[in-house]
Homo-oligomer: A and B are copies of this chain.
Amino acid sequence: MHVAVLTHESFPDRAKTAVGLLRYGDHEVRAVVDREYAGQRVSDHLPDVQDAPIVASMDEVPEVDALVVGISPIGGEFDESWRADVRAALERGCDVLSGLHDFLEDDEEFARLAADHGGELRDLRKPPEDLTVAEGTAGEVDATVVTTVGTDCSTGKMTASFELRDAARERGLSAEVVPTGQTGVAITGWGIVVDRVIADYAAGAVERLVQTPEDQDLLIVEGQGALAHPAYSGVTTSILHGSAPDALVMCHEAGLEAIHGYESFAIPPLPEYVDIYERLAAPISDASVVAGTLNTSKLDDDAADEAVAEYADALGAPATDPVRHGVPDEVLDAIL
């Protein structure tokens, strides 16, 4: 599939979805639609992702199958200045994918254009309507299933999932990320935003996702939230149990001691935290924390190396900063 991705005035620093698509997406990005940097190329800003021209509007985009809204502003509202580009995409029969809280399919003009020209409006935050309660069968899939879990939100679970996938593929294995958040869903083009699913069906949604890919050696399930997070721990549990993993990878941010936004809630000491995850997983699927990833972006090189070594010690498992150092063999071996 070929896509264009819209980022108007947000590329790259406030365009996590777009950057994710460029870095990890299996689809070819043929253009970035951003009036701020029109005329430049992606490689002028990000050297280590797939390259593409940056254009001012959808009218200058070559033939694509879909336009992806590559940004998620706080509040998730649709910006009217994007209307012309979405309209143009739909008039060309393209699908339009969006992770906004404002659903495109609720917009009369967009719904009409999609119907008239054959494109599909895909609101990625909207779960399927036929979800059901989990049956406890995810453990039966043939693939090795690894679930990334975190000490908090935003500790690199999604990044770790894609980096592990790519490391496995480099070794000649077939691997897919099982996406559970809107960025992952936008990057891969499939998945379900689990935190938007009715609590009764959340584990069932994850179970369905794990059972979807065929003939894969490795499935890496993107975790959400954390077990010590006062608001999101239920989502974490639903993913942990719904995915029935064979192994866990613990993702952390160097120096993080309290839950972002909930600073009265301390992050448990790592060995204790590992214990909580493993004991909760055990009745459903016997999964241990076999490796860790650490976000050391705020540290200099020496401090980063030390932090990763300390982290591996605390976990009792091999660890890496996948963005800084890639995925070493010992980490990949641990999950396979």
Contact = CB atoms under 8 A, between A and B. Distances in A.
Contacts of A38: none
Interface stretch (A183-191, A211-219, A263-271, A327-335): A263-271
Given A195-B200, A234-B234, A238-B199, A227 B280 contact: yes
A49 B99 CA distance: 52
Contacts of A228: 283-284
Given A136-B264, A237-B237, A232 B197 contact: no
Interface string A224-261: 00011011111111100110100000000000000000
Interface-central residue, A135, A194, A196, A279, by most chain B CB under 10 Å: A279
B199 A284 contact: no
A133 B236 CA distance: 14
Copies of chain A in the complex: 2
A198 interface: yes
B204 A199 contact: no
A133 B231 contact: yes
A203 to B, nearest CB: 5
Given A134-B230, A136-B230, A200 B196 contact: yes
A232 B200 contact: yes
A199 B195 CA distance: 5
Contact of A199 (B227, B235, B241, B275): B235
Given A198-B195, A199-B202, A279 B283 contact: no
A236 B264 CA distance: 23
B279 A275 contact: yes
A276 interface: yes
A199 B280 CA distance: 18
B233 A237 contact: yes
Contacts of A282: 268, 276
